[in-house]
Amino acid sequence: MLANGNLTDELKIFTGNANPDLAKAVADYLKVQMGKCEVFQFSNENIFVRIQESVRKKDVYVIQPTCSPVNQSIMELLIMMDALKRASSERITAVLPYYGYGRTDKKDQPRVPITARLIADLLTAAGASRILTLDLHAPQIQGFFDMPVDELTAENLLANYFKKKKLEDLVVVATDVGISKKARDFAAKLDAPLAIIEKRRMGNNDITRTINIIGDVEGKNALTFDDEIDTAGSLVGNVNILINKGVKEVYSCATHPVLSGPAIQRIAASPIKELVVTDSIPLTPPKKIDKITVLSIAPLIGEAIYRIHTGNSIGEMYDQMQME
């Protein structure tokens, strides 16, 4: 741990209701107290925020993934930042371990929005001076902001977990061509070859059709790699195809466990040996099944906050920090 806990009271951490356990774990890593505030919804669904301590001239970090309930989480974040701005905070960093609407990053059909850009504009208008996020669905989202954006990655955390498992005959499988570059870097960390599942998305209903598997997978243990898992339809389909292609066992990993709709039922009934995710999005008790392993990103987020606050390099963090 590089953060030594000797932080001044100039640093404040606040959170809404999206992932308070992660925010508390980050505060514990930094050895600072959580900022005091109340965030709740009236019966008419209006959100109320009150900051319960002075933040004048403070360096403030609001930890709030924009996960389910997505729109409520976004509004909580925007209203919290507005309250902090009006309370004369010196700097407000929006810490988004998961960036909702990240898939809508371009105009790929006629008359559709670029919602990822809209969210960026809203965060700016609400008072954010800086963004700290994790494994964006599309790297170009960084360019939607006219402010510093630090994008962290959970690749080292996930890779170190599987290094310790010492799986034999391992092949890393990119779940589509779009993530193949990240998957290649991930495979290099594990000293494993790379295969790519080539597929085509059918419309807007999360339905995909696999066209081909590029690479040798027969007789190997496969590890699928993706940035997020939503309904798990594509994941389970990929796993079944890999099994049919002669793979011995299939492991899966992803940073963001969205796991909406029938995802848990699909994963539980699938031949997946183990799914490894992070706590960027909290898993409710019904989603905590034996096949799913959750790794904490609190040290990663905490170290980044420490470095931003003290003016040290984020890029050097990955060389110096020993991830457990």
Binding residue numbers: 44-46, 137, 176, 201, 226, 230-234
- Measured CA to CA, the distance from residue 91 to residue 84 in angstroms comes to 9
CA angle centred on 98, ends 58 and 204, rounded to 5°: 145
To the nearest 10°, report the CA torsion of 286, 291, 293, 294: -30
59-63/11-15 β-pairing:
parallel
Helix axes 155-165, 180-189, angle to 10 degrees: 50
Under a CB-based contact definition with an 8 Å cutoff, are residues 184 and 213 in contact? no
242's tokens: 């890999």
Place of tokens 């963004």: 131
Rounded Cα–Cα distance for residues 240 and 25 (Å): 36
Binding residues for D-ribose 5-phosphate: 201, 226, 230-234
220 assigned to active site: no
What is the rounded distance in angstroms from the CA atom of residue 1 to the CA atom of residue 91? 25
DSSP at 7: -
Candidates 199, 220, 273, 288; catalytic one: 199
**What are the binding residues for Mg(2+)?**
137, 176
Catalytic residue annotation: 199
